[in-house]
Amino acid sequence: MFPQVTNSYTYEDCKATADWLLARTDVRPLIGIVCGSGLGGLAAMLKDQVAIHYKDIPNFPQSTVQGHAGRLVFGQLKGQPCVCMQGRFHLYEGYAIHKITLPMRIFKLLGVHTVMLTNAAGGLNQDFKVGDIMIMKDHINMPGFSGINPLTGPNDQRFGMRFPCMSDAYDRELRQLAVDVGQELGFGDFLKDGVYCALGGPSFETIAECWMMHKLGADAVGMSTVHEVIVARHCGMRVFALSLITNQAVMDYDSEEKANHEEVLQTGRQRAKQMEQLISSMVNRMDNNNNKI
């Protein structure tokens, strides 16, 4: 039986929040960036910043996770008007799924055309190493198998169609741009591509769960991103996403290794500069015509 979900945020609610934000900055963002655990430094690269704490934004939830600053930052990145989320929201924080994905609808009403998301993930692919950066080419929405989907409930056509396609969720041109830019920056040795599997968390995965996801075709596992991607695509925005492999999933019963959040943050700090370089260089290649390459 699917859970009963009521989207408590109407189009009018979302528009009121977007209008409130637009009244507080002259920036009219075309690109929206979501920073995952330990990766909030991307926002520091924005010029002429206007930063607003989540707690001050009408209808906005608050980030409760270590490594998430909880601010929305407007500014210019490589001459492109951007808005950057320093910290996102998760199912395991106790938020309803429509709250987790609210920022994507706000992005759309702010004028954003392209969403770029980052996350920290555990590596399931045995060829991946800690510190690798995975370009997401597809996802497995594990909570969705039990009816936990951000589009459950009444559909407002002003956001998007009732049954959006997800086979093209991750923009092919942007993925190729990431490969090209990564090669130019000398990141070829640690830049991968693969499939991300989303779980609800907050507990890390069991060994049996890791093997199951691996056999289903997942290369990395995490607790975010997929729900945001679904809503962003529902709203018609282009999507690009990166996973930083911050730990190797434990898949051996004889192993003494244990996943932990501090390891996630430490790897994020070590690789953050390269991720910032990659994303800023990609933004530099986009023009203002709907962010086409």
Q: What is the per-residue pLDDT across 171-201, written as a single tens digit (0 to 9) for each?
A: 999 999 999 999 999 999 999 999 999 999 9
Q: Is 98 a catalytic residue?
A: no
Q: Is residue 74 part of a domain?
A: yes
Please tell me whether the peptide bond between 143 and the residue prior to it is cis, using omega within 30 degrees of 0: no
State how far the Cα of 283 lies from the Cα of 114, in Å rounded to an integer: 10
Residue 4's pLDDT band, with cuts at 50, 70 and 90, is: very low
| Percent of the chain surpassing pLDDT 70 | 92
Identify the pLDDT of residue 58.
95
User: Is 102 in contact with 61 (CB distance < 8 Å)?
Assistant: yes
Q: Is residue 39 part of a domain?
A: yes
User: Is pLDDT of 99 > 50?
Assistant: yes
User: Is 97 in contact with 121 (CB distance < 8 Å)?
Assistant: no
Q: Is residue 252 part of a domain?
A: yes
Q: Is residue 34 part of a domain?
A: yes
Q: Is 90 a catalytic residue?
A: yes
Mean pLDDT along residues 237-260: 87
User: Annotated catalytic residue: which of 37, 141, 280, 291?
Assistant: 37
Chain center to CA of 15: 22
Q: Structural domain tally of the chain?
A: 1
Q: Is 247 a catalytic residue?
A: yes
Identify the pLDDT of residue 66.
67
Of 101, 286, 89, 289, the residue nearest 201 (C-alpha): 89
User: Is pLDDT of 215 > 70?
Assistant: yes
Q: Is 261 a catalytic residue?
A: yes
Q: Is 280 a catalytic residue?
A: no
Q: Quick check: helix, strand or coil at residue 243?
A: strand
Identify the pLDDT of residue 264.
67
User: Annotated catalytic residue: which of 198, 223, 237, 275?
Assistant: 223
Predicted TM-score of the model (pTM): 0.92
Q: Is residue 100 part of a domain?
A: yes
Q: Is 214 a catalytic residue?
A: no
Identify the pLDDT of residue 41.
81
Q: Within 13 Å, how many C-alpha atoms sit on residue 106's CB side?
A: 28
Q: Is residue 1 part of a domain?
A: no
Q: Is 224 a catalytic residue?
A: yes
Residues 241-269 as b or e (16 or more Cβ within 10 Å = b): bbbbbbbbbbbeeeeeeebebebbbebbe
Check which CATH number belongs to the domain holding 26 and give it: 3.40.50.1580
User: Is pLDDT of 7 > 70?
Assistant: no
Q: Please state whether beta strands 114-123 and 238-248 pair in parallel, antiparallel, or not at all (unpaired).
A: parallel
Name, in order, each residue with C-beta under 8 angstroms of 126's C-beta and a sequence gap of 6 or more.
251
User: Is 117 in contact with 170 (CB distance < 8 Å)?
Assistant: no
Q: Is residue 118 part of a domain?
A: yes
User: Annotated catalytic residue: which of 45, 85, 96, 120?
Assistant: 120
Q: Is 68 a catalytic residue?
A: yes
Residue 67's pLDDT band, with cuts at 50, 70 and 90, is: low
Question: What tokens does 217 get?
Answer: 């075709």
Mean pLDDT along residues 134-161: 96
Q: Is 93 a catalytic residue?
A: yes
Q: Is residue 82 part of a domain?
A: yes
Mean pLDDT along residues 11-20: 97
State how far the Cα of 248 lies from the Cα of 254, in Å rounded to an integer: 15
Residue 241, domain extent: 17-285
